[in-house]
Amino acid sequence: MRGMLDRVARAGHVPMYALSPAQARLSYEAGAGVLDIPPHKLHRVEDLSFAARDGHTLQARLYAPAADHPLPVLLYFHGGGFTVGSVATHEPLCRHLAHLAQCAVVSVDYRLAPEWKFPTAVHDAWDSLAWLREHATALKLDGSKIAVGGDSAGGTLAAVTAIGARDAGWPLALQLLFYPGTAGHQNTASHKTFDKGFLLEEAHIRYFFNHYLRDPQDRNDWRFAPLDGVDASGDVRDLDGVAPAWIGLAECDPLVDEGVAYADRLRMAGVPVDLEIYPGVVHGFIQFGRAIPTALTAHNDAARALRHAFG
C-alpha cells in the first residue's frame, strides 16, 4: 500500500482539489479502472432509467448473474464525494459483487454537486429505492429481498436511505457500507492522523463538501451526518430498527473513526453489525483489486454478508 502511494506521489498529477468539478470528473473517470479488477462477465446487464420526484430522469444499470428466476437485489450508490464518480467508475465492483453474492445489483447515477446541491442526492437515493420496490417484479427481481449499499459518499446515502426505510416501514435485508462518511464535522483523531499523504486528504474532503453543501448548517442535518446530525426538531435520529449492517473500513482513512462510531451507535440501538477494519489500506481500496489482495478479501466479505442477509 505504501509503495502504491509513493508511486502516486511521484507521478506528479495535479491534485483533484485543484481542478474544476468537470475536470475532476474526467480525471476520476480516467483513473478509476487503472488498479481495479477486469469487469466480470455476467448473464444480464441492462441500462435502466426512471423519474425522480421532480421529474428529472435518473440512469441506473442492472447487473445479474442469472435470468431464469427472481434474484435478491443490492441497490448501490457509488462514492466520489457527491461530486465525482458514476455507474461506469464502479462497474467492476458492482459486477464482482453480483457474481460473488449471486444477487442482482442496481447501480444508480444520482445527481452530483455542485450542479445539484444537498439534499438532491439524498432524494435521488430514496426515489431509487421507491422505484425499485415498485418495479422489482417487472425487472424479474425479488422485491422482498432488497439491500442498500455504497462506498464513501455512497455509503452515506445508503445509511441515510436505511433510516428512511425504517421510518417508512420498508424492510431491508442489509445496509452494506464501505467506509461511509457519517459525521457532520471532521474532527476525529483519524482525520488528523491521515489528513495528508493517504490518498483521501483533508483538502479533498473540504473540496467535495464545499461543492455539495448549501451552507454550514447542512453539516448538522442527519441526512448528511447520520451519526450526529439532527432532524427538524433538533433531535439526533435514533437508529432502533434500522436494517442490519455490514461495515468495511480502511485502517489508514480519515473516515475510519466515524465509521467505528457509527457501528457503535447501531449496536447500542440493538442493530446487528458486522464490522471489518482492513489493516494497512486507504480510502478507496476496494477499487484497487488488481494491485491489493485486501480489496478482493473485502469483496468476498461483503458478498458473504449479502448471501447471509438474503438467506
**Cα torsion through 10, 14, 18, 21, rounded to 10:** -130
Beta strands in 162-297 (DSSP E): 174-178, 245-252, 273-282
152 is a catalytic site residue: yes
User: Distance between alpha carbon 292 and the CA centroid of its chain, in Å?
Assistant: 20
CA distances from 71 to 105, 173, 245, 308 (A): 10, 13, 20, 14
Q: Is the dihedral of CA 166, 56, 90, 251 positive or negative?
A: negative
Give dist(CA 108, CA 212) in Å, integer: 18
**If phi over 0 gives left and psi between -120 and 50 gives alpha, with beta otherwise, what is residue 55?**
left
135 is a catalytic site residue: no
Q: Are 277 and 306 in contact (CB under 8 A)?
A: no
One of 90, 123, 191, 283 is an active-site residue; which one?
A: 283
Distance between first and last Cα of the chain: 35
One of 86, 107, 152, 190 is an active-site residue; which one?
A: 152
Q: SS3 sequence, 288-308?
A: CCCCCHHHHHHHHHHHHHHHH
Owner of C-alpha cell 445496509: 175
Q: Are strands 245-252 and 174-178 parallel, antiparallel or unpaired?
A: parallel
274 is a catalytic site residue: no
Q: Which residue type occupies 142? A: D
One of 36, 218, 253, 274 is an active-site residue; which one?
A: 253
Catalytic sites, residue numbers: 152, 253, 283
